[in-house]
Amino acid sequence: MGTSQERGPWPVTARVEPVIEPTSTTRRFELTLRKPWLGWFPKPTVVVDGVAQPAQWGTRNWKVPGEDAVTVSIFLFNRVWKFGEVNFTVEPGASVPLVYSAPWLPFLPGRLRNAS
């Protein structure tokens, strides 16, 4: 067929680059995402340093790169508008678990508190 770059009749030319560059130092923080018990709510979106990541309700450990402070945003999007937004910074060495609570109404902000 030709070179090892070819698959079928079309050559492979695209290369996928990672969104977050791997570093030798990474850390984690624990985040619990809670929705109100009444009603239907869209799944939350967690944005870590500008990279949006869809999330599930519940407790997760989030991996963040490097030893610098990291900006995190959480919001809900219901196909019309964004609501329940919370912004915070995860400092190096911070190990306190956090809890995000979604608002009852789609025009209110979310709430962030320590888990303990």
Give the CATH number, domain containing residue 85: 2.60.40
| 58-97 confidence digits (pLDDT tens) | 999 988 877 889 999 999 988 888 899 999 999 888 788 9
Domain-embedded: residue 1: no
Domain-embedded: residue 2: no
Instruction: Give the chain as a DSSP string.
Output: --STTEETTEE----PPPSS---S-EEEEEEEEE--SSS--PPEEEEETTEEEE--SEEEEEEEESSS-EEEEEEEE-SS-EEEEEEEEE-TT----EEEE--SSTTS--EEEE--
| 11-32 confidence digits (pLDDT tens) | 656 665 555 555 567 888 999 9
Domain-embedded: residue 47: yes
Domain-embedded: residue 5: no
Task: Record the pTM.
Answer: 0.74
What is the tally of structural domains in the chain? 1
Q: Which domain does 66 fall in, by range? A: 10-114
Domain-embedded: residue 3: no
Cβ(34)–Cβ(111) below 8 Å = no
Domain-embedded: residue 41: yes
